[in-house]
Amino acid sequence: MAGNHLSVLAVDDQAGGCSAIFMMEAFGLHAKGAQDHGQALDMMARERFDVVLLDIGMPGTDGIEILRRIRKSHPETGVIIITDYPSIESAVECMKLGAMDYVVKPFRADDLEDVVLRAQETIAKKGEQVGGENREHRKESSRPIIGKSPVMQKLIATIRRVAATDSTALIAGETGTGKELAARAIHDHSARADNDFVPVECSALVESLLESELFGHVKGAFTNAHETKKGLFELANHGTFFFDEVSNLGLNTQAKLLRVIQEREYVKVGGRERRKLNIRFIAASNRDLKEAIERGAFREDLYFRLNVVPIHMPPLRERSEDIGLLVEYFVKEHNAKYDGNAVQGISEEALEMLMSYSWPGNVRELEHLIERILVLEDCHTIRPEHLPPFITQRKAEFQIFSEDGLSLQQVEKRYLQYTLRRSKGRRQEAADILGINRKTLAAKIKKYGLQVNL
């Protein structure tokens, strides 16, 4: 399991808590246990934990109140709720209070590993997931969309126009480009801003529970349905519902979602009454939905219902002129988070290196890099020596072409050397990159006396 630097506290008065500790240790994580909420709070006062597995159903205390106290006293700590059975109302309330996820007893090792992995990513992108007890807090916590590049100015103008309507929108973009941020901006600038924004990560939904989670259920609809429960659609009524990574929904769920979007009404599981919905839908995907349609993995009719207003989130490599603004924002934000003010800015040389990098992880990768530098480096200004080799070495390779007075043959020789290093000495691959055949490449290697020992 990656990222085994996390420390975990399991709070459970039953044997499951101990098994959770053993599971965490099997993943390579540092884990401790607490038998009750009071002991957990005492341990957290003495020791920092990255993640707390919190059983909210323990006798004698109010688990929701304990969650509030943890979030207030230890806002940097991620909380995963442990529950005896999935209660939609309590799950939604916990998420609004800042919990990251929940796991249902009895849980298996892979169930627990899944939620901890999701918690790791959420911890890594703190601030993108917005929680709080009221909408005012969520608005204060929401990040601005940062960018002065033409492509970002066009995006911001599009979001403002879309927010003024009630149209369904489909946000496309690579992972880490800020699709949920755009969806929240649409909601916050719309007439629905005083009502809830309910995001759902489709890949995290349990298929067997999905219908009950979305639509709710009536008492007796299935085993353990001891009372009528509200679904997420009902909780989002008069607000905005955001399907993140909608391509992960199964075809059966897609059909039910299509009906809800078309008719703006739904029926609880086990019920008969058709309930009206006044809701705005926004969906997002990092995959090509047209390609998914061709594969039969996504319904074409649902695609057209969602794609009323298409919005494209540009990758960071297409707006490198915004990197300076983003670095400034992340430095300020993470300085405040760690209660320090050590790093004041970035040198021109380091910024140039960041601007030349391709950023496959997009804005999220940039934020992680800045946070890592602030945590690990003792510096006033971010300089090239504080950047990872995969960024600085890449820049150094391209600097071989930046000298003045180079002859055409010198440039050709250096580019051949660069390409052979890039292909690790594989001549056919190098020839393909250069757009020549192997015989021509061999002749040039001989001409310049190049050594190919890779």
Same domain, yes or no, for 164 and 270?
yes
In a domain, residue 133? The reply is: no
Same domain, yes or no, for 41 and 115?
yes
At 285, is the pLDDT very low, low, confident or very high (cuts 50, 70, 90)? very high
In a domain, residue 135? The reply is: no
Quick one: average pLDDT of 220-225?
A: 69
In a domain, residue 431? The reply is: yes
Same domain, yes or no, for 375 and 390?
yes
- Number of structural domains found in the chain: 4
The domain of 228 spans: 144-314
| CA-wise closest residue to 56 among 30, 32, 89, 26 | 89
CATH code of the domain covering residue 424: 1.10.10
Among 126-140, 179-193, 436-450, whose mean pLDDT is lowest? Answer: 126-140
Greatest C-alpha distance within the chain: 83
At 270, is the pLDDT very low, low, confident or very high (cuts 50, 70, 90)? confident
In a domain, residue 390? The reply is: yes
Same domain, yes or no, for 155 and 289?
yes
- The string of pLDDT tens digits covering residues 26-45 is 666 667 888 888 888 888 87
Report the alpha-carbon distance of residue 208 to residue 282 in Å, rounded.
Answer: 23
CATH code of the domain covering residue 199: 3.40.50.300
In a domain, residue 454? The reply is: no
**Sign of the torsion formed by the C-alpha atoms of 7, 13, 15 and 16:** negative
- The string of pLDDT tens digits covering residues 240-267 is 999 998 998 889 889 988 999 999 888 8
In a domain, residue 137? The reply is: no
Among 117-121, 177-181, 303-307, 405-409, whose mean pLDDT is lowest? Answer: 117-121
Same domain, yes or no, for 173 and 322?
no
| CA-wise closest residue to 268 among 12, 104, 88, 39 | 88
Same domain, yes or no, for 395 and 407?
no
Same domain, yes or no, for 310 and 414?
no
Q: Which residue has the tokens 């059966």?
A: 252
Q: Could you tell me the pTM of the whole model? A: 0.58
The pLDDT, as a whole number, for residue 130 is: 33
Report the alpha-carbon distance of residue 242 to residue 129 in Å, rounded.
Answer: 13
Same domain, yes or no, for 80 and 194?
no
Last residue of a domain, one of 276, 293, 314: 314
Same domain, yes or no, for 371 and 289?
no
Q: Contact 119/51 with Cβ under 8 angstroms?
A: yes
Same domain, yes or no, for 373 and 353?
yes
Is the pLDDT confidence value at 291 over 50?
Answer: yes
